[in-house]
Amino acid sequence: MNYFKLKEHSTNVKTETIAGATTFMSMLYIIPVNAAIMSASGMPFDALVTATILMSVIASVLNGLWANTPVAMSVGMGLNAYFSFGLVKGMGIAWQTALGVVFLSGILYLLISLTPLRRQMIEGISLDMKRAVSAGIGAFLAFIGLEEMKIIVDSPDTLVTIGDFSNVHVELGLVGLLLTFFFYIRGIKAAYILGIIATTLIAFVFGFSKLPDSFISLPASIAPIALQLNLSSALSLAMIPVILTFLITDIFDTLGTLTGVGMRAQLFEGKNSVPLQKTIEADAAATLLSGVAGVSSTTAFIESATGVEAGGRTGLTAVVTGLLFLLPLFFLPFFKAIPSEAIYPVLVIVGAKMFSEVAQINYKDPAITTSTFFIVLGMPLTYSITDGLLLGMISFTVIKIFMGEFDKIGVVPIVLSIIGLVLFFGLLKF
The closest of 69, 82, 76 to 52, measured between CA atoms, is: 76
Q: How many CB atoms lie within 10 A of CB 257?
A: 22
Q: Mean pLDDT over residues 373-398, rounded? A: 89
Kindly report the average pLDDT of the chain as a whole number.
Answer: 87
- Note the pLDDT tens digit of each residue in 123-174: 677 888 888 888 888 888 889 889 889 999 998 888 889 999 999 999 999 9
Residue 162 parent element (H or E) = strand 159-162
pLDDT tier, 241 (very low <50, low <70, confident <90, very high otherwise): confident
- Of residues 171 and 258, more confidence is placed in 171
- Note the pLDDT tens digit of each residue in 13-47: 999 998 898 889 888 889 998 999 999 999 999 99
Q: Mean pLDDT over residues 198-226, rounded? A: 88
pLDDT tier, 120 (very low <50, low <70, confident <90, very high otherwise): low
User: Out of 42-46, 127-131, 208-212, 270-274, which region has the weakest mean confidence (pLDDT)?
Assistant: 270-274
Q: How far is CA 240 from CA 103, 245, 246, in A?
A: 13, 9, 10
Report helix angle 95-113 to 274-293, nearest 10. Answer: 160
CA 295 – CA 141 distance, rounded (Å): 18
pLDDT at 197 over 50: yes
Instruction: Check residue 430 and give its pLDDT.
Output: 44
- Of residues 235 and 274, more confidence is placed in 235
The closest of 289, 332, 285 to 35, measured between CA atoms, is: 332
Instruction: Check residue 377 and give its pLDDT.
Output: 93
Q: What is the per-residue DSSP string for 305-354?
A: HHHHHTT--SHHHHHHHHHHTTGGGG-HHHHHHS-HHHHHHHHHHHHHHH
Please classify residue 293 by burial: count the beta carbons closer than 10 Å to its beta carbon, then call 0-12 exposed, 13-18 middle and 19+ buried.
Answer: buried
pLDDT at 1 over 80: no
Domain residue extents for the chain: 2-424
